[in-house]
Structure 1
Amino acid sequence: MVVEVEGFYGVYLLFCTNPKYKGRIYIGFTVNPERRIQQHNGGKHKGGAWKTSGRGPWDMVLIVHGFPNDIAALRFEWAWQHPHVSRRLTHVPRKPKKQSSFDFHLLVLSHMLRVAPWNRLPLTLRWLRQEYRRELPLLLQPPLHMPLAFGQVRARPISKGQKGRLGETGEGESARGVMPPAPQRCRVCYEWVQDKDDALCCFQPGCTLTAHILCLAKLFLLKEPQSLIPVEGLCPSCGHSVLWGDLIRYRNGCYGDLEEIPSSQAHWVDELHRSSD
């Protein structure tokens, strides 16, 4: 079974199966994992990286996806590649000589998913090849809002058309006489939302939420005044609990893979506080 994800930005780990280079790994960024592994195994002339060219075949073992944009994913990629240069990972111990690169970078990943800013993103850790799976250390489990998934994933183009209620009209709509959307009031401060680039809408069916990005962020962070980026919060219009990262993805035109948080699940922010005590 292959899961399709809209607005895909992922950071993956490759494992070399060539007996001559077996055990080597490679970390990279992609918007299309199926195409990217073909490029790596095809060599430089097929678009693969020079570090992997001529050393294959490679297996794409796992991938972290759910980043709001390519910049966030590329920063994650760089830190995973250079854990001892990143100022956010100074607490990660050096790799012991007897530890494999694969196990070491899996340990680094475990640390990364628990530190800011990545611990506040709606990320998914997906094992693409079951035979490579490792259990993460008990004390370094990802936050509860980051699911552990299994199986292949396919990038799906973002649906064409309107982008949210305050979004852009589709190509050619103005020529057919479609009027631009009227300004709406922010559900938090009740001031007019004049700029669609400064607005968020809820993706829940029937919800009419429109809010300034900063207003909604402050509302979500009432219990975490020391933080800059919310993890999740209750929509002030429909009352559903939603991930901040999913609201950003919806604003950017992604309509798939956006779900309400199960009410039975423990509050993730409280869980993060408890784990840091």
Structure 2
Amino acid sequence: TEGTARPGRFFGVYLLYCLNPRHRGRVYVGFTVNPARRVQQHNGGRRKGGAWRTSGRGPWEMVLVVHGFPSAVASLRFEWAWQHPHASRRLAHVGQRARGEASFAFHLRVLAHMLQVPPWARLPLTVRWLRADFRQDLCPPPPPHMPLAFGPPPPRGPRRGDVPSVDRESELGAEAHCAVCARTLQDEESPLCCPHPGCPLRAHVICLAEEFLQEEPGQLLPLEGQCPGCKNSLLWGDLIRLSQTGTKENEEDSELEEEHWTDLLEN
């Protein structure tokens, strides 16, 4: 489902700002799995994988990225709505760009409202400013479970096969069990772990989500809940961000997917 992020994967929607004096102030919204590489592509032009709307108008600076989406599809839907707010039924309440309102300010206003409405309001997203000198307060501010971050995204988590596997028998005993359903945890299931020191919690993602959602019947994605082990309050987004090693992926395939969707949205 799209309700649970895949550990180790980066799916982001970014905002570019044009620094070219002839086009200064133009902005561009896009999707990426690798922000540093993507801005290089934009500044390299179409021959380097950039978009036709940014080609020949650089230099461009990536000033903001929203990340933490559970899948490429979820981030692409967010990208499309941010690009076309008045075609999205979820953003019908957002006013048109005002006369004299800069494109950059308008896109931040749209973003602020997007983070308040479903389905995005319940996702474990992070709003990350890559350029501190461009930072502006969002109005309304993001929900409490969406942190504001600054600087480049953290490095990608290690992939299985890149590092020696953890000796789970010595770490967890002969068998590890889900703290919610008590079934044995399999190595490939990537259980969620409590970040509090000394807490032994290990649980299936689905089991812990259902445990948290007992306080919010009718919802599909939890925001927070009480750890069954140490009883501390946990934000669902923190559990996802701190979860262990992600699944192995083919980065070239991800980039091909990015180029394919970008072409579809631009043509």
TM norm structure 2: 0.74
Aligned: 1:227 with 2:219:
yes
Which has a greater percent of strand?
1
In structure 2, what is the Cα distance between the partners aligned to 1:8 and 1:93?
Answer: 31
Aligned: 1:143 with 2:143:
yes
Structure 1 residues 59-91: Cα deviation after superposition (integer angstroms, max 9, x where no partner) = 212111233343332222122112122232222
Correspondent of 2:127 among 117, 125, 144: 125
Q: Which runs of 5+ in 2 are unaligned?
A: 1-7, 247-267
Contact kept, 8 Å, 2:190 with 2:245, in 1: the verdict is: no
In structure 2, what is the Cα distance between the partners aligned to 1:249 and 1:69?
Answer: 14
Aligned: 1:81 with 2:83:
yes
The secondary structure found in structure 2 opposite 1:221 is helix
The secondary structure found in structure 2 opposite 1:156 is coil
Change (3 A) 1:199 1:87: farther
Structure 1 residues 37-61: Cα deviation after superposition (integer angstroms, max 9, x where no partner) = 1111111112211111111111212
Write the letter of the residue equivalent to 1:234: Q
* Equivalences for residues 59-208 of structure 1 within 5 A: 59-137=61-139, 140-150=140-150, 152-161=151-160, 170=165, 184-191=176-183, 196-197=188-189, 199-208=191-200
Write the letter of the residue equivalent to 1:9: F
Aligned to 2:250: none
Contact kept, 8 Å, 2:16 with 2:28, in 1: the verdict is: yes
Contact kept, 8 Å, 1:200 with 1:248, in 2: the verdict is: yes
Structure 1 residues 221-262: Cα deviation after superposition (integer angstroms, max 9, x where no partner) = 2222132110121221232332223434455625xxxxxxxx
The Cα RMSD (Å) is 3.2
Write the letter of the residue equivalent to 2:72: D
Contact kept, 8 Å, 1:18 with 1:56, in 2: the verdict is: yes
- Could you tell me how far 1:154 is from its partner in structure 2? 4.1
Write the letter of the residue equivalent to 2:180: V
The secondary structure found in structure 2 opposite 1:126 is strand
Change (3 A) 1:250 1:86: same
TM norm structure 1: 0.72
Aligned to 1:12: 14
Q: Taking every aligned residue pair, what percent have the same amino acid on both sides?
A: 57
In structure 2, what is the Cα distance between the partners aligned to 1:53 and 1:236?
Answer: 52
In structure 2, what is the Cα distance between the partners aligned to 1:239 and 1:161?
Answer: 31
Q: Which runs of 5+ in 1 are unaligned?
A: 1-5, 163-168, 255-277
Contact kept, 8 Å, 1:8 with 1:31, in 2: the verdict is: yes
- Could you tell me how far 1:14 is from its partner in structure 2? 0.7
Correspondent of 1:46 among 38, 48, 57: 48
Per mean C-alpha deviation after superposition, the further-off stretch among 191-200 and 224-233 is 191-200
Per mean C-alpha deviation after superposition, the further-off stretch among 76-85 and 243-252 is 243-252
- Could you tell me how far 1:128 is from its partner in structure 2? 2.0
The secondary structure found in structure 2 opposite 1:13 is strand
The secondary structure found in structure 1 opposite 2:128 is strand
Contact kept, 8 Å, 1:15 with 1:24, in 2: the verdict is: yes
Which has a greater percent of helix?
2
Aligned to 2:206: 214
The secondary structure found in structure 1 opposite 2:75 is helix
Change (3 A) 1:105 1:7: same
In structure 1, what is the Cα distance between the partners aligned to 2:119 and 2:87?
Answer: 16
The secondary structure found in structure 1 opposite 2:101 is coil
Aligned: 1:244 with 2:236:
yes
In structure 2, what is the Cα distance between the partners aligned to 1:252 and 1:43?
Answer: 37
Contact kept, 8 Å, 2:190 with 2:244, in 1: the verdict is: no
